[in-house]
Chains A and B, each alone.
Chain A
């Protein structure tokens, strides 16, 4: 096929929300590089529903890899099946959404073929028929341009929100089924049931205003200060991961890739540097306010308003100003 293959993620026939973003990236690269665009979906018979969801997009082909051993995700099963698809069709680029599942198997697949996956790509440019990719280093403080060396296939994964699913081009997508050769003995890990720890008592996604606290707060004893600010704004209190890891606030108040994704009217980030895992959970907020002592903190990249200063002085001043 020598084109661009987008490997999409589905569970119970439902496409992962980032799958369509990876597909949008594939279409965009395809038009820039003049290459055909293909999609692949893996699963048991249930994958059919995911394929239906792809009807109506302009794709040169949708590859459906069906096998009873692909019913539940395993890194061994996915890696073996995709190696067979790649061997048969020889794509130049293989694009994944940068999901937790992709982080689990895509590096393994690339390694099996002697390649390196360029992970968590935020943007790109086409140069001389190849791609230069932009990644974030040091949790978003530094960017890097990364290029591919050697022979195809070139593997990359796309960060959440880097490409827009609503930019997908409409058209038709012929389907081709393939049954990979898989034996139970090749799958060494045994996935068991999925579960949630507890029912969520706090639905942050319904909050109009969220005040969120990060590492800058330093100690659990200082949390009430931020709670006061939340009260003054009529906001829900949330946090970045380290705060919940430390047990200073319950896990259900965590915003980010491993917590909740929110898009409130206003998001106030207090002492949060803005690591990408946090940003993906809140950058859809209408108005973003950041309070941080480091003027270079990545949170200011996404903020509409920012105060550079010591939160222990700024937050009390803010509470006072709100009362006026």
Chain B
């Protein structure tokens, strides 16, 4: 089974974010980057499937030069090779443009299964997988907890709201977005890190991947949200703050 896992590099989860001067994006010069956590679960699902069914895991990532580091880490965890769509724009804020580039990059690959995370931690559109499926003409299912082979196709377990689940049968090729937390993530081994250095990373120039789609959404500006609720914050020493809070809860909010 040929499995493509689409991953994204995003600012590390605990980054302190500041809006840049022009308000066009965050200050990103000094940020640390890592794999988008939901995509790490998609990679894990792909690697587990390969271990069970055999085949190949190909990592697909669009991003600037720095994304190479995240790609190497995915190879070190066990992906066989990678495709890096090199973009000049550090941030493609239109998921349709991004998905069209990815579809073109995959045109010659003909994967049986495309996996990706349910959403990105930065833009959070939660759509790239579904858009990619439609662009490639593939059936899809989202928020997948479990995948098993079923005849020539697959049977997946989908998460719904309020603790409900559903099984869905579907043919291959197909695209799935993977729910986070369904499995434990593996670490790269020393051997894996060593091997990753010699694995193939095919670089594609984003500009050469067909024409740019006309933008249908634009990001006007980003900003720090204004506080809407008047909250009372205690930031003194722990003991003092705790005592102040308990007094408020007893005599102001009267909840204890």
Binding site for B on A (CB under 8 A): 75-76, 99-101, 103-105, 107-108, 110-112, 114-120, 132, 135-150, 188-197, 200, 209, 233, 241-242, 244-246, 251-252, 257-261, 265-266, 286-287, 289-290, 294-296, 298, 300-310, 313-314, 316-318, 320-322, 324
Selected A-B contacts with CB under 8 Å, 13 pairs: A108-B130, A110-B131, A117-B127, A119-B126, A120-B124, A120-B126, A132-B220, A138-B17, A150-B214, A188-B139, A266-B255, A300-B227, A318-B242
Contact B181 A242 (CB under 8 A): yes
Q: Closest CB of chain A to B114's CB: distance in Å?
A: 14
Residue ID in chain B nearest A286 by CB atoms: B255
User: Which one, A142, A196, A266, A289, contacts B163 given CB within 8 A?
Assistant: A196
Contacts of B253 in A (CB 8 A): 266, 287, 304-305
Residue ID in chain A nearest B223 by CB atoms: A143
Q: Closest CB of chain A to B23's CB: distance in Å?
A: 9
Those 8 A-B pairs whose CB atoms lie nearest each other, nearest first: A245-B181, A317-B242, A107-B127, A188-B139, A313-B238, A192-B167, A107-B130, A145-B220
In addition to A120-B125, A321-B239, 20 A-B residue pairs with Cβ atoms within 8 Å of each other are A75-B139, A107-B127, A112-B134, A114-B213, A116-B216, A138-B26, A142-B26, A142-B222, A144-B221, A191-B166, A195-B165, A196-B163, A244-B181, A245-B180, A266-B256, A303-B231, A304-B232, A305-B232, A320-B239, A321-B243
Q: Is the interface of B mostly helix, strand, loop or mixed?
A: mixed
Residue ID in chain A nearest B221 by CB atoms: A145
> Given A107-B131, A138-B121, A245-B180, A143 and B94 touching (CB < 8 A)?
no
> Given A119-B125, A138-B121, A111 and B233 touching (CB < 8 A)?
no
Q: Closest CB of chain A to B255's CB: distance in Å?
A: 4
Contact A307 B241 (CB under 8 A): yes
Binding site for A on B (CB under 8 A): 11, 16-17, 19, 26, 94-96, 99, 121-127, 130-131, 133-135, 139-143, 155, 159-171, 180-182, 213-225, 227-229, 231-235, 238-239, 241-243, 245-246, 248-249, 253, 255-256
Contact B219 A318 (CB under 8 A): no
Contacts of A76 in B (CB 8 A): 139
Contacts of A135 in B (CB 8 A): 124
> Given A119-B125, A138-B121, A148-B216, A287 and B163 touching (CB < 8 A)?
no
User: Which one, B134, B167, B255, contacts A287 given CB within 8 A?
Assistant: B255
Q: Closest CB of chain A to B36's CB: distance in Å?
A: 12
In Å, the complex CA distance between A310 and B242 comes to 12
Residue ID in chain A nearest B125 by CB atoms: A119
Q: Closest CB of chain B to A121's CB: distance in Å?
A: 11
Contact A197 B227 (CB under 8 A): no
Contacts of B131 in A (CB 8 A): 107-108, 110-111, 116
Q: Closest CB of chain B to A167's CB: distance in Å?
A: 17
Residue ID in chain B nearest A122 by CB atoms: B225
User: Which one, B121, B168, B217, B246, contacts A189 given CB within 8 A?
Assistant: B168
Contact A194 B160 (CB under 8 A): yes
Contacts of A114 in B (CB 8 A): 96, 213, 216
Q: Closest CB of chain B to A247's CB: distance in Å?
A: 9
Contacts of B239 in A (CB 8 A): 317, 320-321
Q: Closest CB of chain B to A283's CB: distance in Å?
A: 9
In Å, the complex CA distance between A146 and B214 comes to 16
Contact B168 A104 (CB under 8 A): no
Q: Closest CB of chain B to A5's CB: distance in Å?
A: 17
In Å, the complex CA distance between A290 and B233 comes to 9
